[in-house]
């Protein structure tokens, strides 16, 4: 398997900007979920931790699926 290495500033890439905006969006979603389900203050850290772990797990699954589907069709040039 061949990997491409970006030679530009990683913070200027559109993918990084999308990821950063989605991360901020995730925070708002967590706040809305915790507020709308009236999670008690004592349970909020546990709820937030579970949400973060699930989000990371699902992101890893979807990245793996995308690499499997599209990884073979692209070449590094």
pLDDT in tens, 17-40: 777 777 777 778 878 888 888 889
Q: Which candidate, 22, 19, 17, 44, places its Cα nearest to that of 31?
A: 44
Overall domain count for the chain = 1
Residue 34 domain-assigned (yes or no): no
pLDDT higher than threshold 80 for residue 62:
yes
Cα 75 from Cα 62, distance rounded (Å): 21
| Neighbour tally for 33: CB within 10 Å | 13
The reply to whether 69 falls in a domain is: yes
- Residue 66 inside a domain? The answer is yes
pLDDT for the residue 60: 87
Q: Is residue 73 part of a domain?
A: yes
| Residue 2 within a domain | no
74 is a domain residue: yes
Q: Which domain holds residue 44?
A: 40-77
Within-domain flag for 14: no
CB 33 within 8 A of CB 43: no
- Give residue 42's pLDDT: 92
In the structure, what pLDDT confidence band is assigned to residue 5 with cuts at 50, 70 and 90? Answer: low
């Amino acid at each position: 398997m061949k990997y491409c290495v970006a030679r530009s500033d990683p913070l200027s890439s559109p993918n990084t900007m999308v990821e950063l905006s989605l991360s901020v969006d995730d925070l708002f979603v967590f706040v809305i979920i915790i507020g709308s389900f009236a999670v008690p203050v004592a349970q909020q850290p546990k709820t937030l931790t579970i949400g973060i772990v699930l989000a990371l797990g699902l992101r890893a699954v979807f990245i793996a699926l995308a690499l499997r589907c599209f990884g073979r069709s692209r070449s590094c040039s």
